[in-house]
Amino acid sequence: MDSEQLIQLGQQLRVDAVRAADAAQSGHPTSSMSAADLAAVLLAGHLHYDFDRPDHPGNDRFILSKGHASPLLYAMYRAAGAVDDEELLTYRRLGSRLEGHPTPRLPWVDVATGSLGQGLPVGVGVALAGKRLDRVPYRVWVLSGDSEMAEGSVWEAVEHAADQRLDNLTLVVDVNRLGQRGPTRHGWDLAAYTRRLRAFGWHTVEVDGHDVEAVDAAFDEARSTTGRPTAVIARTRKGRGVAAVEDQEGRHGKPLEDAGEAIEELGGPRFVRVEVNTPHTGRSAAAPAGGPLELPRYERGDEVATRNAYGEALAALGSARPDVVALDGEVSDSTRAQFFAKEHPDRFFECYIAEQQLVAAAVGMQTRGYVPYASSFAAFLTRAHDFVRMAAVSRAGINVVGSHAGVAIGEDGPSQMGLEDLAMFRAVHGSTVLYPCDANQTAHLVAAMAEGDAQSRGVRYLRTSRGAMPVLYGPDEEFPVGGSKLLRSGDDDRLTLLAAGVTVHEALRAADLLAQDGLPVRVVDLYSVKPVDERAVQAAAEATGCLVTVEDHHPQGGLGDAVAEVFADGRPVPRLVRLAVGNMPGSATEPEQLNASGIDADSIAAAVKLLAEKVVVR
């Protein structure tokens, strides 16, 4: 397309954005209009993409980080012939694929956006896959707003991209100077962005974002720059093209008042279909070669930390499956991801202490078919909560592993203790939450986490422990997701202890103590916290009438709630007792911590005796 055609295409995108928002009577047309010329030049001149084959390994990737500008994205899809005009006008309606913010319900959207500051971090993950795994010359284009440059996650990504010399990544910043509330911090001071990005090692180009020739040249420069990523920093005007809204405050997130007049001002309706460049040559990602899976095997009675079993199992899984990759937040010696790093350095990604980027990179890599395991301390994964939440909206299949769970870590104190992680991961839509108590169980669950495919996508979380614990199970036992293990049972059981991780061992010891006192109790290992083994929980309720959950986690949102939820459909509910970490821990040894929180064997036994005395149990 020549310049005049590009200008006309920009106007077409504006018209369609205005039309879509007008049909919906909601949405963000003015945020779309500022970036329309950038989008036109990208779509017509620089993007390599086959809209009929969104899974083509040689496709470029376009991530609209400013997801509220979805009318622009859908207008681009219409221009490319992927969406017809009828569908365009279903924007934001019930059942439409054209949601208020883009999601992968559309086959050309790899990741959901709308939580600002996520596009670049995820784009870095995709570009890393291109550079270090696929080795296909596709390019990742991220279009971001200027407001979102205030998010720390953006700077984690800027640092990561420069460090990894991702010259296959282009960030386009639509500097329209107006956020939702009013002016941004830097307004039209393009140099403010340039200085920052250059300091981190990026190549930058400042450009008038409405000068299609200049934009075209900037994109050319980005594509030809080697050894570092490029940012195109574009000065634009919000609502460009319609005087009533152009560069005006108070026009964010609203349809135009007079859409018909605006469309006239934009030159009237028109439609030119864009011929998009064909994909790059490339083979499929993650070729399924590899070998048989030989998981580590542990002897019963040995003392092994589940974090160690995680690292060893992941290394073994990496040998069996070339699509498995690992990422860590500069704590791989603690999480034991180092075992994978040592055996598969080409598939290990050090993300340093930047947990948002850690999870974002994993989300990016899974869009290219990889099976990522992202690990840090459970406590520090709270940094990435928004990325985990958005991964669910993205229908992403990622594995997240949190070590150093609970007060059982001992002396380091509460800042290092994962005590909210079960609540956080359970509340994520479609998630799986696993919490093993034993090395063989851990190894099997690590392998099970890789089995998710497009049909069973979701965030899969594994919680591991710092300290060594006795191996309870043989290496050939099976541990299906959604299962449990009945560890103690008898006809006279007075109640059931339900535990996971470290508290399984405490519950077993408590059961021994109680048996000596003539109080037999049942013990269930609920290693699958979500989905929980409903049948086993119900069976225990029917058999013993009272369920006591014991967990190394705050009382809210964890194992106790998972058990209560089994009875949330109106069926009769057994008596429920919850032992959990209700205190604010300090520093102490592991046994002292478990005791202070009332979840060690002695505390469990004492609680059961109290229940027996109060005759709330049979």
Bridge partners for 575 per DSSP: 546
117 forms part of the interface with a copy of itself (CB under 8 A):
yes
What track of x and - describes contact with a copy of itself for positions 60 through 99 (by CB under 8 A)? -------x------------------------xxxxx-xx
Instruction: Report how far residue 437's alpha carbon sits from residue 297's, in angstroms, rounded to the nearest whole number.
Output: 15
Q: Which is nearer to a copy of itself, 301 or 570 (CB)?
A: 570
Give me the residue label for tokens 């194992």. Answer: 559
Q: Which is nearer to a copy of itself, 268 or 614 (CB)?
A: 614
Q: Which is nearer to a copy of itself, 20 or 215 (CB)?
A: 20
Which residue from 382, 475, 483, 534 is in contact with a copy of itself, where contact means CB under 8 A?
382
Which residue from 66, 139, 237, 383 is in contact with a copy of itself, where contact means CB under 8 A?
383
Q: Which is nearer to a copy of itself, 134 or 533 (CB)?
A: 533
Q: How far is the CB of 46 from a copy of itself (least distance, A)?
A: 27
Q: Which is nearer to a copy of itself, 223 or 352 (CB)?
A: 352
Q: How far is the CB of 199 from a copy of itself (least distance, A)?
A: 4
Are 574 and 541 within 8 A, CB to CB?
Answer: yes
The residue ranges of DSSP E strands in 346-385, in sequence order, are 348-350, 371-377
Binding region for a copy of itself (CB under 8 A) out of 132-140, 147-155, 264-272, 463-471: 147-155
Are 601 and 506 within 8 A, CB to CB?
Answer: yes
Q: With contacts defined by CB under 8 A, how many residues of the chain interact with a copy of itself? A: 116
Our CA dihedral for 317, 439, 491, 513, rounded to 10 degrees, sits at -170
- Beta pairing class for 203-208 and 458-463: unpaired
Q: How far is the CB of 438 from a copy of itself (least distance, A)?
A: 25
CB atoms within 10 A of CB 297: 13
187 forms part of the interface with a copy of itself (CB under 8 A):
no
Q: How far is the CB of 81 from a copy of itself (least distance, A)?
A: 23
Smallest CA-to-CA distance from 175 within 246, 252, 234 is with 234
Q: What token pair was written down for 90?
A: 């279903």
* H or E element, residue 528: strand 528-530
* Distance in angstroms between the alpha carbons of the first and the last residue of the chain: 82
Binding residues for a copy of itself restricted to 195-214, rule: CB under 8 A: 195-196, 198-200
Instruction: Report how far residue 406's alpha carbon sits from residue 466's, in angstroms, rounded to the nearest whole number.
Output: 9
Q: What contacts 473, CB < 8 A, 6 or more positions away?
A: 300, 438, 440, 441, 479, 485
Binding region for a copy of itself (CB under 8 A) out of 128-136, 255-263, 291-299, 332-340: 332-340
454 forms part of the interface with a copy of itself (CB under 8 A):
no
128 forms part of the interface with a copy of itself (CB under 8 A):
no
Bridge partners for 61 per DSSP: 140
CB atoms within 10 A of CB 319: 16
Q: What token pair was written down for 575?
A: 């008596």
Cis peptide before 531 (omega within 30 of 0): yes
Q: Which of 265, 355, 506, 551 is catalytic?
A: 355
For the four alpha carbons of 338, 340, 325 and 558, in that order, the dihedral sign comes to: negative
426 forms part of the interface with a copy of itself (CB under 8 A):
yes
400 forms part of the interface with a copy of itself (CB under 8 A):
no
Classify burial at 598, counting beta carbons within 10 Å of its beta carbon; exposed 0-12, middle 13-18, buried 19 or more. middle
What track of x and - describes contact with a copy of itself for positions 515 through 534 (by CB under 8 A)? ---------------x----
Binding region for a copy of itself (CB under 8 A) out of 30-38, 151-159, 367-375, 501-509: 151-159
Q: Which is nearer to a copy of itself, 232 or 563 (CB)?
A: 563
Instruction: Report how far residue 174's alpha carbon sits from residue 232's, in angstroms, rounded to the nearest whole number.
Output: 9
Q: Which is nearer to a copy of itself, 44 or 546 (CB)?
A: 546
Q: Which is nearer to a copy of itself, 332 or 440 (CB)?
A: 332
20 forms part of the interface with a copy of itself (CB under 8 A):
no
Bridge partners for 547 per DSSP: 496, 576
Which residue from 30, 176, 204, 334 is in contact with a copy of itself, where contact means CB under 8 A?
334
Q: How far is the CB of 279 from a copy of itself (least distance, A)?
A: 28
Binding residues for a copy of itself restricted to 573-602, rule: CB under 8 A: 573-578, 584, 586-589, 592, 596
Q: How far is the CB of 127 from a copy of itself (least distance, A)?
A: 18
Which residue from 89, 293, 320, 423 is in contact with a copy of itself, where contact means CB under 8 A?
423
24 forms part of the interface with a copy of itself (CB under 8 A):
yes
Read out DSSP for 380-441?
GGGGGHHHHHHHHHTT-EEEEEEESBSGGG-TT-GGG-BSSHHHHHHTSTT-EEE--SSHHH
Residue 257 among the catalytic residues: no
Which residue from 59, 65, 113, 465 is in contact with a copy of itself, where contact means CB under 8 A?
113
Which residue from 130, 318, 452, 558 is in contact with a copy of itself, where contact means CB under 8 A?
558
Are 57 and 283 within 8 A, CB to CB?
Answer: yes
Q: Which is nearer to a copy of itself, 1 or 154 (CB)?
A: 154
Q: Which is nearer to a copy of itself, 282 or 555 (CB)?
A: 555
Instruction: Report how far residue 208's alpha carbon sits from residue 365's, in angstroms, rounded to the nearest whole number.
Output: 33
Smallest CA-to-CA distance from 142 within 180, 197, 79, 91 is with 197
389 forms part of the interface with a copy of itself (CB under 8 A):
yes
Which residue from 243, 244, 287, 616 is in contact with a copy of itself, where contact means CB under 8 A?
616
The residue ranges of DSSP E strands in 209-271, in sequence order, are 230-235
Q: How far is the CB of 237 from a copy of itself (least distance, A)?
A: 19
429 forms part of the interface with a copy of itself (CB under 8 A):
yes
Binding residues for a copy of itself restricted to 336-365, rule: CB under 8 A: 338, 350, 352-354, 356-357
Q: Which residues are catalytic?
A: 355
